[in-house]
Structures are given as structure tokens and as C-alpha cells.
Amino acid sequence: MVADDGTVATVSLETGFGLTFDPETGTITASADNPASESIQVQVGESIVLLAPGEVVIIETTEPLDTLAAAIENLVGPKGIRNSLLSKLDGVELAIEQGKDKVALNKLKAFVNHVKAQKGKKLTGAQATLFEQLADAISQSI
């Protein structure tokens, strides 16, 4: 999440882990910010990283869409909402590949609206915030 002054802020998850996305470098920093929490597995593309409490890792990604898809795959538990969100992203990707930028932006807006509708229901506030921030990075790159 990017603050108004351009600095990158941390999004804390309810599990005691935080994720920070830096759109400038395309990196996600994951940290175990609660020493009492268990380890968490984070996967982006082919890379899998196991974080123990107190550890920090930077996962570099090249495409914002890949970053968002990986975040959804790894952070969303309910299969139905996970598949629904990923399906919406597939539509965004297809529109981009076809050179239909306006369609891609509209599909991305529908994705964000779906995320907002699920906030506090099937998605935690932290998940929704992270997904919205990643979607914003995607829209800026279109």
C-alpha cells in the first residue's frame, strides 16, 4: 500500500503476518510481525518461501497481474471466492493481450468492486486492502 507521500506502508494480516507491495520495484515484502504466530508459506510464481516469526523476505515479481493472482491464490481460503476473483483477473489479462485497454480497466474496476463487496465477509480487511492496492498498480500500468 502506498501512502500519500510515496512511501510504502505495511498491510497487516489477521494471522500476524504483514505484506507490503512496492509498485516501483514490483516487490512484496512479507514479514512475521507477531512472534507468537506460526510460520507462513508464501508463493509467487515458482518461488515458495517459508517465513518463521520475525523473518522478512522480499519476493520480486515482474508483472502486477501475476503478483495479484499469486496473492489471491495464497491468501484467500474459500475456494469459491478465490476462483471468482481469479476468473475476473483472467478477463483483465485477456483484454490487455487483445489491446483493449478500456475493457481491461472496466474489468479491473469490476474486480475491485467485487473485492469491496466481500470485505469483512469472505475477505479480511487486510486482504481487501492489499488486493485493491495491487489492482491500482495494474490500472496505472495499463
36 vs 133, more confident: 133
Helices (H), 6-124: 64-75, 79-97, 101-118
Give me the residue spans of the domains in the chain. 11-141
Q: Are 17 and 131 in contact (CB under 8 A)?
A: no
Q: What is the mean pLDDT of the chain?
A: 73
The predicted-structure confidence for 49-63, as pLDDT tens digits, reads as follows 555 555 555 555 557
**Residue 84 CB neighbour total at 10 angstroms:** 16
* pLDDT band per the 50, 70, 90 thresholds, residue 22: low
The predicted-structure confidence for 94-109, as pLDDT tens digits, reads as follows 999 999 999 999 999 9
C-alpha closest to that of 72 among 132, 137, 9: 132
Q: Is the pLDDT of residue 4 over 50?
A: no
The predicted model scores a pTM of 0.63
- The predicted pLDDT at position 112 comes to 97
